[in-house]
Amino acid sequence: MKHHRLLLAFLLSTLGLGQPSFAAERRPNVLFIIVDDLTTTLSCYGDRDARTPHMDALAARGVRFERAYTQFALCNPSRASFLTGCYPERTKVFNLEQNFRGALPDIVTMPQLFKNAGYATGRVGKVFHVPDPKSQFDVVSASALAKDNAVLEEAKLARSRESAMSDPPIAKGKGNRSYNQNYAASARPPQDFTDYDIATRAIGALETFRDQAFFLAVGFIRPHTPYVAPQSYFDLIDPRKIAMPPFYRAGGEDTALIPDAALRPNNNVFSFKAPDVPTAREARRAYLASTAWVDSQVGRVLAKLKELRLDGNTIIVLTGDHGYHLGEHGLWAKQTLFENGTRVPLMVVAPGVKPGVSAGLVEQVDIYPTLAELAGFEVPRHIQGVSLQPLLAAPRGQGKPAVFSTMVSTHTRLTGHSIRTDRFRYIEWDDGRAGRQLYDYETDPDELRNLAADPRHADRAARLKEQLTAHLWAVAANGK
């Protein structure tokens, strides 16, 4: 077939009819990497405890967005948002079970856009949280997510046999056990872990797609709980040197002025008992170790891309699906509207894009239109984000005036909305009836002082509320 196309091109050229259009073959490839529950605990984001050389090297090749934010700090709503280019108020996805097709039956998702343009498409690992029947992929490769749960159980039992059990099992009936601490180092080799399998399958997909334009989405699982990784990745990090957030420092943190809806009582890491300082350090170490582990698997995929000589013509985007708390405000989880819950890593490498760092405010809803423009497509009209191409061309340029996030409280079930500007964040729960929050990041980067009830900030809170209300109205109006 390739020889036939070359012959056709030659004949058309000699007849003065120009070259045939094989646009999909000449367009750049796309490698979209999503790392589950990955926050900005990366060396390239200034985390002194992180060991992430491969993601750091990727960031150094393109533009790293210093202030990127999720639209919903939970897997399914977040992924539904950035894979459709719409805010949660438009997708109507607010939990782990809803499918955006109920509200958007005919919308073209990011993978569909590329497939419709003639690209080969692939999904490896976790991409959509709830599968989308209309986003058909040429290659679909899922991994057994339960593998790492078995690794955790084995590691816990091994510690018990060694009389080093600091986290005794709790019976859950029918022989099942649970643990307070959802993390452990393992003696198993790398190939026994879920993310090794995902990286291997992604490498196979690259081999399959090497001679055609492709869109490949790869969803890694760690550092999502359980925080498990080979022992060698735990050995990289000395828990005694780990920087702890204010909640675990001397004097602790006063959370009395934070609304009940904002402070979830149920955590992803500690199921039955809150950690003391030494245990909290070990938990942060386990998260950092599992992040270092997944970094190594990202490195394997990037190495294969380079080996196949595809890296020069491939757009690479890497992000987490939302932020994550590692003890801040006493939280060990996602599903909040704080800075830690909503801020995400985001880096973009693309042909012709020079390395740089952007401090402008951006959102994950902007990823879809960015990829569309970089690939030379017209941005679909339904998209509510904006392309990041201006910031890729000039990283020191202005970002958005504000970014927005939504959340449903895990225990009160009330809806909260957040607006984040360069300096301030305003949050209201149940339209303010269940509490409000206002933080000044210039004077209070750790969100230790809720200024919402301070009369000196009443005007600012009112202006931010007005901006937030206008945004929510505009998002709803755009969907009609």
As annotated, the active-site residues are 75, 129
Integer Cα distance of 229 and 185 in angstroms: 6
Q: In what order do the strands lie in the sheet with 415-420?
A: 403-408, 415-420, 424-429, 436-440
Strand partners for 72 = 406
Alpha helices per DSSP H over 128-267:
147-161, 194-209, 231-234
Q: Could you tell me if 361 and 71 are in contact, meaning their C-beta atoms sit under 8 angstroms apart?
A: no
Residue 249: phi and psi, rounded to 5, are -90, 170
Integer Cα distance of 364 and 222 in angstroms: 20
DSSP 72: B
Whole-Å CA distances, 244 to 241, 248, 297: 9, 6, 27
- Give one DSSP letter per residue of 439-473, joined into a string: EETTT-TT-----TT-GGGHHHHHHHHHHHHHHHH
Alpha helices per DSSP H over 136-276:
147-161, 194-209, 231-234
Whose tokens are 């600012």? That residue is 460
Separation of CA 161 from chain center: 37
Token pair for residue 343?
């801020």
